[in-house]
Amino acid sequence: MRETIAHPDDLVTEGREWPEVSVVAMDYRASGSFIAPPLASYVVCTIEGTTSYMAREECHDGVPPHLPDGSAIVNAVGCGGHYVWTGPHRANMVSIAPSVVERAAIEGGLVRPARLSIVPALGVRDPVCEHVVHALAAERRLAPHAMQTLMIETLTSALAIRLVARFNASTTAAERELGGLGARTIAKIDAYVRDSTGPIGLEELAKLAGVSRFHFTRQFKRATGETPMAYVRRLRVERAKELLLATDMSLADVAAHVGFADQSHFTRVFRSVVGTTPARYGERRHRRRDPSGPRSS
């Protein structure tokens, strides 16, 4: 991603880009100004040193705030304008693709991400933004390494989550359902588990819910009171109980039908959930057929 900004001669920049984020170090060596066109990304900029800004644009209402060391500027997509500063200082600017912030809104439980509305801010103090931006700035200075892509993606996601958590105008408790996973999503997962006869992993359940694996685990437990894998085991055991009482299927066939790899694994899981073995549980079917028990001749 790339933004085009007209820089004055006394503003020195150095930056790096990744697919969904760019990190730019800016050295303002004197007072000055520049014109920034409307941006296609979200921006978090932290200040090192002290200065004052005049932002002549709709996003900041032309307010000239004092920006102390450690303060931040937050800009939403579409912000731009004429910026004026009063003295030398340094800044680190992180530009995040809208898709990253939208994913954070969805994974954080924002039921209607179309209402995502990041409120621009000048001179705000936010330790989380400050630390994450500084970590990204430190990574920018490092030579490429094997874990750099993962590090950049993780830090960018953390910054996007913070933007949604603190600066989104429409994030309210009323917009959250079942801790972020709606009833229809839970029902879809329920049906998927019941219909599946093969192995089920966290990755495919998270994909079904439309969130990341990490956020899925946390949100699913908040919504249901169970971990995803405990939920899968319980549903499969419930289905096995139905089959044991209603059919003449062998234990091996029941195990395969409800998604267990083998009868031994099925027996261990069934006993841990029900408190007895599948064979003993299945004996209830015979007792139901002949409740009086064997008759003497």
What is the DSSP code string of 156-195?
HHHHHHHHHHHHBTT--GGG-SGGGS-HHHHHHHHHHHHH
Number of neighbouring beta carbons within 10 Å of residue 176: 17
Tell me what the pLDDT averaged over the chain comes to.
82
Amino acid at 225: G
What is residue 37's predicted lDDT score, i.e. its pLDDT?
A: 82
Query: Mean pLDDT over residues 245-261, rounded?
Result: 91
Given a cut of 80, is residue 226 above it in pLDDT? yes
3-state helix, strand, coil in the chain (%, to 5): 45, 20, 35
Given a cut of 70, is residue 232 above it in pLDDT? yes
The string of pLDDT tens digits covering residues 157-204 is 999 999 998 888 865 444 444 445 666 778 788 888 888 888 899 999
What is residue 1's predicted lDDT score, i.e. its pLDDT?
A: 54
Alpha carbons 78 and 75: distance in angstroms, whole number? 8
What is residue 175's predicted lDDT score, i.e. its pLDDT?
A: 41
What is residue 173's predicted lDDT score, i.e. its pLDDT?
A: 45
Give the 3-state secondary structure of residue 272.
helix
CA dihedral 154, 157, 162, 163 (to 10 degrees): 150
Domain 11-173: which CATH number of 3.40.50.2000, 2.60.120.810, 3.40.50.620, 3.90.1150.10? 2.60.120.810
What is residue 286's predicted lDDT score, i.e. its pLDDT?
A: 61
Tokens of 289: 């057929």
The string of pLDDT tens digits covering residues 51-105 is 767 555 556 555 556 677 788 889 899 887 777 787 888 999 999 999 999 988 8
Domain ranges of the chain: 11-173, 180-289
What is residue 62's predicted lDDT score, i.e. its pLDDT?
A: 53
Return the higher-pLDDT residue of 73 and 50. Answer: 73
CA dihedral 28, 29, 35, 38 (to 10 degrees): -10
What is residue 174's predicted lDDT score, i.e. its pLDDT?
A: 41
Tokens of 169: 């105008």
Rounded to 5°, the CA angle 32-33-38 comes to 160
Measured in Å, how far apart are the chain's first and last C-alpha atoms? Answer: 88
Query: Mean pLDDT over residues 41-48, rounded?
Result: 93
Q: Which CATH architecture has domain 180-289?
A: Orthogonal Bundle (1.10)
Given a cut of 80, is residue 12 above it in pLDDT? yes
What is residue 141's predicted lDDT score, i.e. its pLDDT?
A: 94
What is residue 179's predicted lDDT score, i.e. its pLDDT?
A: 47
What is residue 296's predicted lDDT score, i.e. its pLDDT?
A: 43
Given a cut of 70, is residue 291 above it in pLDDT? no
Lowest mean pLDDT among 4-18, 25-39, 65-79, 141-155: 4-18
Given a cut of 60, is residue 288 above it in pLDDT? no
Q: For residue 124, what pLDDT band results from cuts at 50, 70 and 90?
A: confident
Q: Which residues of the chain form beta strands (DSSP E)?
A: 11-18, 21-28, 32-36, 42-48, 51-56, 66-67, 72-75, 81-85, 89-96, 121-124
Query: Mean pLDDT over residues 105-119, rounded?
Result: 75
